[in-house]
Amino acid sequence: MELVHSQLNTSQKRLDVFDWLYAALIVVAAVVAEQQYGQYMDIYEHSILIGSTLGLIALGWFWKSWRWFFPLTGALALAAIALYAGDINQGQSRFFLRYLLSSQSAIMWMCTLFFLAMAVFWAALFSRSAFLEQFATGLTWAASVMGLTGLFVRWDESYLISPDIGHIPVSNLYEVFVLFCLITALMYLYYAERVATRRMGAFVLPIICAAVGFILWYTFDRQAHEIQPLIPALQSWWMKIHVPTNFIGYGAFAIAAMLGIAERLVSRGVLADRLPSADIMEEVMYRAIAVGFLFFTIATILGAMWAADAWGGYWSWDPKETWALIVWLNYAAWLHVRLVKGWRGAVLSWWAIIGLFVTTFAFIGVNMFLSGLHSYGAL
Amino acid sequence: MKTPTRSTVFWASLFDLLSSMRFAIGLLTILAIASVIGTVLQQNQPYPNYVIEFGQFWFTVFEWLGLFDVYHSAWFLILLAFLVLSTSLCIWRNTPGFLKEMRGWREHASERSLAAMSHTALLQGTGTPETVQAYLTSQGFAIKTAQREDGSTMVVGKRGAGNKLGYFFAHIALVVICIGGLMDGNLPLKIGELVGTIRPETRDIPQGQVPAESRLSTSNLSFRGNVTIPENSSADVVFLNAGRGYLVQDLPFIITLKKFRVEYYPTGMPKLFASDIVITDKASGKTREETVKVNHPVHVDGVAIYQASFGDGGSPLALTAWNLAAPAMGPIKVEGRSMNQQPLIANGKPYSLEFGELRVFNIQDMRDNSTVAVNKTFNELLSQAQSVQHEKNLANAGPTIQFKLRDNQGQAFEYHTYMSPLVLEGRSYIVTGVRKEVGQPFSYLRLPLDQEGSLQSFMRLYATLHDTSLYPEIARRAAAKALAGSSISPEMQQQFQFSVEFVLNRFHEGGFRALDEFVQARVPADKQAEVGQTYIKILQAVVVDMMEIAHQRAGLAPFQLNENNYRFLLDSLVAAGILVRDYGSPVFLQLSGFEQVQATGLQLTRSPGKNVVYFGSLILVLGILCMFYIREVRVWVRLGAQDTRLAVSSNRKNRDLEQDFARHQARLLEIVQGKA
């Protein structure tokens, strides 16, 4: 892979002791999970477990920061599970659960930390302070840790409410918005390390904070954070892979659009001496769209395969499916003009920005304005 | 040499256009925009709905444009066909060049062309081909070495040929997916309809009477149809939507529904929909038992059976009917079947009783809605946001039946009746909703039940209200009581009796609303409230006399007035006020029993193109992976007598290439200067 390639040449040959320790940890965790819960899993879920194990090891080897990030969230989630001790009501009485580790507390921490990170990123931009940039990056990491921990704990909480209600927290609009914030932040953190500049944060964080704003409204006004059981159409292992894959796509497209804005500003001389060069942002934009396109393609195919099991046909021209196709066609055209025609600059940036609107409509607009089979995430 | 004729020029330029990038991009854009239409306009609705929504003129225009089924309209399919054509021509056009490039090494590239490359360097010193070969091999390159005429040696390395392969994969995938989709599409049916061999049936007739030109045989390769099967019934066909009508698809097997199962979570959300079915093969007579669940289709002979919907399969109902024109008569038993209609004669007039759906569970959140979101302190909100579980007050309101009563003019009222009594503050009521038009919400009335849990007492009272010949006697008793209680003077007695009769007559005509309308129309504005209050007081007083008379007439023990009974009378008054005017039916039907028969809605599909589409999807992903993440890199090392030329090229000129070049240059410099 292009992204992996330079790593292949340089670092992968030298897997250090931490790589192996990390891999061993993941394998041990998978074995424990298999022993504890294997009896409840079907063949597909076993495959997903094996796939996740390999995927997580690969991710840790590929992106070194993942090696501490993931075990840390795992440890926090396990701490929360231990504190719950099988009783959901502990969440209101135990101090650490109530104020830090219960899923809602963790997610609220994530929200707060993302807002802080955005503020500090902008402060860093105007004060040209490398320290503040580093601090903002730290805040973004902390927010991501809390977000992933929150999702893990929420997963457990759903089982604590009742075993037949339990499910992976990617089943409604509230849960996937948390996932969106998390994935977008992590992808940004990866690119920031990859191209060795943290200054794009000032532009990526606002889109995350917009999603955070939605989460807060959805929580306080609509009580959408309540865990709901799964309706029959969603009771499928496909959900475990279809939804997260889709959100890698959405997150990547969001980053691309925000970099498109930054690129437009820089090329007009606005903040030009404070942001990375237009070339770097353009390249990251391309990479984000490429990875987003790949995952979005896979997600759409997985969605089609799920639809074939659930709705009786792999393609029903349901509004959500059709908008997924529109998004796909849009970025396919974008990639063609860049790779084949060799276009760069203004048009592609604007196109990426408009692309985000198309994507957002496919993501939320369809649920709000159009009716169809895919109405699980209705507002 | 051939001179190009006009026609070859034409074909050549058409080929150029169709295989060109801008045509492909244009097509992608148009396809995206066209796809929007079908998401904005609900597809495949019954045609009359569209006429109502858009009017006859636009309906005709939209129908002509195929907008009610965009994705199967001719122009949309033509767009897709052009996409396939454009992609195929693009592959056709690029294949020779790409293959040549993949195979070629360009080991004879001239020094000048190497020097003109963007990443090139002339290094001082030279080395042996072997060391260079070893280095490039270690870096994952395939290598070729050539002696050149000028005596120098050229070592060429290349890596990442998969990139070009990715191009083929991704583009062939698109064609494969479209072919798979076409196999599952309804193109053959469309052609059949055009040619006239297939004609959709538009009449609502029994399935067995559908003529042969509206039937599809079991040899039909691809279909997607629906069928509804009640419990203990069978089906051996499915129905396919076809524009204004439908087609009947014969199946090679018979499906019998033994039982349909629904389970609910405590919140009232559905947890499981499952159909226990028996499949009997028509040819062999073999049977197999299966369970179809949502997300778990059953596959038989290449046909997939899905759980698509469910409903009431026609449940036998037992009803208690009260004749509202003669309420004292007592109830009679009526039998019916949900989802069916039957004649009903009431007071000599014919009606049609049309039963809708029987719903056995009606789980409702009994929380007072006003407490949900408003008037919360910040702390309350915060603590609510902290918990993923909320208190609810859920209750099952029990079975309901919906039905319409249609008179011989075709006018109908629709009713929604709860079987179980609603208990409020210790009192029980029968709740029924009524509405005149389908789109409106039901307005609900509550008929109070007596201590025996029957409507008998209420109906006895209602009969008294209904018998206007009793009004003078009621008025006389009321006046006598009022006189005894010194509420009125003897001179007013006559006037009072008259008022009572007037109020009763008005109330009998149209309930509280009729009284209110009278007050609004006839009484001066400043007196309206006072007069209205007086009327209500009169009613609240005479209802006791009415009940006493009712008891007398029924030969019952004299009516005892106490607080509890008086509440009952007031509730009755409210209910009677609605029954006389807004109920619309000559009979009051109460659901007293049922035997649930459910029906399952199954979707059956045969899609031979499915695996083709999946295969196409697989190579699409492989193709995208190869295209984006395999970088094609080529390295030329020309070892001259004194110097070494290094040139590096890649299909992507980005930071990775810079890094690669710098690294190769550094390593090669070590090699040629003998430091390696």
Mutate which: A87, A97, A226, vs B, most B CBs within 10 A: A226
Mutate which: B39, B307, B384, vs A, most A CBs within 10 A: B39
Mutate which: A11, A108, A294, A302, vs B, most B CBs within 10 A: A294
B401 Cβ partners below 8 Å, 6+ apart?
Answer: B317, B338, B355, B356, B357, B358, B359, B416, B417, B419, B591, B594
B10 Cβ partners below 8 Å, 6+ apart?
Answer: none
The nearest CA of chain B is from the CA of A28 a distance in Å of 30
A371 or A270, greater pLDDT: A270
Q: Do the bridges between strand B427-435 and strand B412-418 make them parallel or antiparallel, or are there none, so unpaired? A: antiparallel
Per-domain residue ranges for chain A? 2-11+81-377
Asked whether residue B85 carries a pLDDT value surpassing 60, the answer given is yes
DSSP state of A101: I
Asked whether residue A83 carries a pLDDT value surpassing 90, the answer given is yes
Give pLDDT, residue B369: 44
Give pLDDT, residue A116: 97
Chain A CB contacts of B24 below 8 Å:
336
Give pLDDT, residue A265: 93
* Closest residue on chain B to A3 (Cα): B629
CA distance A49 to A240: 11
Asked whether residue A345 carries a pLDDT value surpassing 50, the answer given is yes
Is B387 an 8 Å CB contact of chain A? yes
Give pLDDT, residue B428: 92
CA distance A5 to B663: 14
* pLDDT tens figures, B207-234: 888 898 899 988 888 898 999 999 999 9
Token pair of B88, please? 């195929």
Instruction: List strands edge to edge, sheet with B633-639.
Output: B119-124, B643-650, B633-639, B153-159, B142-147
Give pLDDT, residue A374: 66
Chain B CB contacts of A294 below 8 Å:
621, 624-625, 628
Mean pLDDT over B453-459 rounds to 91
Kindly report which listed range (A88-92, B324-328, B428-432) carries the lowest average pLDDT score: B324-328
Mean pLDDT over B513-525 rounds to 88
Q: What's the half-sphere exposure (Cβ side, CA atoms, 13 Å) at A254?
A: 30
The nearest CA of chain B is from the CA of A83 a distance in Å of 15
From A227, A305, A317, residue closest to B389, measured CB to CB? A227
pLDDT band at A280 (very low <50, low <70, confident <90, very high): confident
**Contact call for residues B213 and B242 (beta carbons, < 8 A):** no
Asked whether residue B1 carries a pLDDT value surpassing 50, the answer given is no
* Closest residue on chain A to B303 (Cα): A312
Chain B CB contacts of A238 below 8 Å:
295
Chain A CB contacts of B181 below 8 Å:
315
Q: Which of residues 186-225 of B touch A (CB under 8 A)?
A: 224
Asked whether residue A145 carries a pLDDT value surpassing 90, the answer given is yes
Is B325 an 8 Å CB contact of chain A? no
Give pLDDT, residue A11: 43
Alpha-helical segments (H) within B523-650: 528-554, 563-582, 610-629
Chain B CB contacts of A219 below 8 Å:
385
Mutate which: B37, B72, B295, B392, vs A, most A CBs within 10 A: B295
Alpha carbon B203 to its chain's center = 26
Which pTM does this prediction carry? 0.85
A313 or B277, greater pLDDT: B277
Asked whether residue B538 carries a pLDDT value surpassing 60, the answer given is yes
Of A192, A105, A204, the residue nearest A146 (C-alpha): A105
The three-state secondary structure class of A112 is helix
Is B658 an 8 Å CB contact of chain A? no
Residue A365, burial from CB neighbour count under 10 angstroms (0-12, 13-18, 19+)? middle
The DSSP-derived string for B407-457 is ETTS-EEEEEEESSPEEETTEEEEEEEEESSTTSPPEEEEEEP-TTSSSHH
Give pLDDT, residue B378: 67
* A&B contacts, CB < 8 Å: 175
Asked if B267's CB is within 8 angstroms of A228's CB, the reply is yes
Asked if B605's CB is within 8 angstroms of A313's CB, the reply is yes
Tally of residues, chain B: 676
From A228, A233, A291, residue closest to B294, measured CB to CB? A233
* Closest residue on chain A to B378 (Cα): A220
CA distance B363 to B369: 15
The DSSP-derived string for A155-198 is HHHHHHH-TTT---S-SSHHHHHHHHHHHHHHHHHHHHHHTT--
pLDDT band at A105 (very low <50, low <70, confident <90, very high): very high
Chain A CB contacts of B42 below 8 Å:
371
**Contact call for residues A288 and A255 (beta carbons, < 8 A):** yes
Asked if A304's CB is within 8 angstroms of B389's CB, the reply is no
Is B272 an 8 Å CB contact of chain A? yes
pLDDT band at A12 (very low <50, low <70, confident <90, very high): very low
The DSSP-derived string for B115-131 is HTSSEEEEEES---HHH
CA distance B60 to A377: 35
CA distances from B16 to B9, B12, B13, B148 (A): 10, 6, 5, 39
Q: What percent of chain A has pLDDT over 70?
A: 94
pLDDT band at A115 (very low <50, low <70, confident <90, very high): very high
Mean pLDDT over B154-175 rounds to 91
pLDDT band at B374 (very low <50, low <70, confident <90, very high): very low
* pLDDT tens figures, B377-430: 667 777 777 788 777 777 788 899 999 999 888 889 999 999 999 888 888 999
CA distance B236 to B253: 6
Asked if A329's CB is within 8 angstroms of B631's CB, the reply is no
A43 or B19, greater pLDDT: A43
pLDDT band at B512 (very low <50, low <70, confident <90, very high): confident
Mean pLDDT over B297-301 rounds to 93
pLDDT band at A224 (very low <50, low <70, confident <90, very high): confident
Phi, psi torsion values for B256, nearest 5 degrees: -115, 130
Asked if B28's CB is within 8 angstroms of A294's CB, the reply is no
B545 Cβ partners below 8 Å, 6+ apart?
Answer: B474, B477, B478, B481
Give pLDDT, residue A114: 98
Asked if B603's CB is within 8 angstroms of A310's CB, the reply is no
Give pLDDT, residue A375: 59
Asked whether residue B345 carries a pLDDT value surpassing 60, the answer given is yes
DSSP state of A64: T
CA distance A349 to A370: 29
* pLDDT tens figures, B310-320: 888 899 999 99
Of B549, B658, B666, B481, the residue nearest B119 (C-alpha): B658
The nearest CA of chain A is from the CA of B214 a distance in Å of 23
Asked if A329's CB is within 8 angstroms of B38's CB, the reply is no
Q: Can you count the helices (H) and strands (E) in chain B?
A: 17, 26
Mean pLDDT over B82-111 rounds to 89
* pLDDT tens figures, B540-589: 989 999 999 999 988 888 888 888 889 999 999 999 988 888 888 889 99
Asked if B388's CB is within 8 angstroms of A161's CB, the reply is yes
CA distance B521 to B538: 20
Element (H, E) at B229: strand B223-230
Average pLDDT of chain A is 90
CA distance B483 to B477: 10
Mean pLDDT over A100-120 rounds to 96
**3-state percent breakdown (helix, strand, coil) of chain A, nearest 5:** 80, 0, 20
